[in-house]
Copies of this chain bind each other. A is one copy, B any other.
């Protein structure tokens, strides 16, 4: 009798199942870090209904609405990108060889100021398209000061899971065109929260985005901390990216950047501290004690000559380290695979006596881009691994190409040899948003054309000229 009920339950699963991905090599990233050969993943609506270790066990069950054969393919959890500025996608390639502060003043602020809502929509959509094409299913996206509704609309349209923050800046060092007074900045953020938080069945969420310590008043930052406590919204903030920035913070406050943020209540489990290149031992201790999250953006940090985040030291202190691609204006790829490889490579730079060659493994890096990212966004029960009951956010890789052959160690291969072009199919919230390299929710050719003409218009309007 019990057996009959069990069989019936299994059959009900199958009847409900809308998608089965079978025969793949599944990198689950579950607590046991199981790697399952020839497994089946059963998806019902937006959730993973089950992960069956061997596809063979599923052959007698009724088929799902759609069956995908992933034989020879690798299925990984959709990647979690903890720091991107899709509003800057249209700035790609505009400049080179500038450090953070002149780069912001000469290019980024003028260009963000020049954008209208359609520009923001197009730039965000182009960024999300690139991210989906390279296997990212969730991102923490820091937008500009205005037109943030357009970013939510773009994320809604293309189907990515996006946690979006409008930039908040109320200090005089920020150009007038992007400066708000404190109350407006708070009010605008709250308006976005009421309109968009948990929209699209929870696929869209709001974050608070005080851009960086220098750009924000203590009053603004204090209120942000308070609102975060009241609403549960996370805080997305750049911290200790550049040595001049840290020096300026010390001059102004008599404290280092992360120390000051800690005083303001912004170093905690709901904080995404982006970059963290310049940290004292005391600051690493504070981040660890408070369970705050660090976002490592290696490509951006190298391009802007900021330095290198001390990931091995952070890991030794049990800090939750994640990966971010940052914006196209300072990377210039929104491809997590490339930043995963670079994160691995820069962890081995000799001359940093605290770094040991064997301290960061391929598995550590994949954890940063999946389960650690999920935890940093407060979504560890929802995303980051392929487990029964979690959201169906899945990235399927085809690595049967000369450039990813042979396959001797699947994790090394994913971290070192693979890039976003190996991504064949992407599923977010149970929906197929890319299949066989074809985006299903937007017309990529039309988007590319529109992005080009909008970018040229922004360059002209901002008066930043082209570097010849």
- Chain A contacts to B: CB under 8 angstroms: 90-99, 126, 129-130, 133-134, 243, 299, 302-308, 328, 331-335, 338, 342, 344-346, 348-351, 357-362, 400-403, 405-409, 412-413, 416-417, 419-421, 444-445, 447-448, 451-452, 454-456, 459, 466-468
Contact = CB atoms under 8 A, between A and B. Distances in A.
Contacts of A303: 344-345, 348, 416
A448 B349 contact: no
A155 B398 CA distance: 27
A406 B456 contact: yes
Contact of A97 (B95, B96, B98, B361): B361
Contacts of A448: 400-402, 405
Nearest to A445: B400
A334 to B, nearest CB: 7
Given A130-B403, A133-B403, A357-B97, A92 B447 contact: no
B403 A96 contact: no
Contacts of A349: 302, 305, 307-308, 349
Contacts of A331: 416
Given A92-B406, A448-B401, A332 B129 contact: no
A361 B243 CA distance: 23
A409 B126 contact: no
B408 A93 contact: yes
Looking at chain A's contact residues, is the secondary structure mostly helix, strand, loop, or mixed? loop
A419 B134 CA distance: 13
7 contacts: A92-B408, A95-B409, A305-B349, A338-B338, A402-B444, A402-B451, A408-B456
Q: How many copies does the complex hold?
A: 2
A96 B417 contact: no
A294 B24 CA distance: 44
Contacts of A468: 409
Contacts of A416: 93, 96, 303, 331-333
B92 A350 contact: no
B402 A126 contact: yes
A105 to B, nearest CB: 15
A452 B406 contact: yes
Contacts of A334: 403
A129 B400 CA distance: 13
A332 B417 contact: yes
Given A96-B362, A419-B419, A405 B308 contact: no
A344 B358 CA distance: 26
A452 B420 contact: no
A407 to B, nearest CB: 7
A406 B345 contact: no
B335 A403 contact: yes
Contact of A409 (B93, B133, B342, B413): B93
Given A130-B402, A357-B97, A403-B134, A92 B332 contact: no
A350 B307 contact: yes
A346 B345 CA distance: 11
A127 to B, nearest CB: 8
Given A349-B349, A400-B448, 8 more contacts: A92-B413, A96-B416, A133-B402, A299-B345, A307-B350, A406-B451, A406-B454, A406-B455
Given A307-B350, A419-B419, A467-B412, A405 B97 contact: no
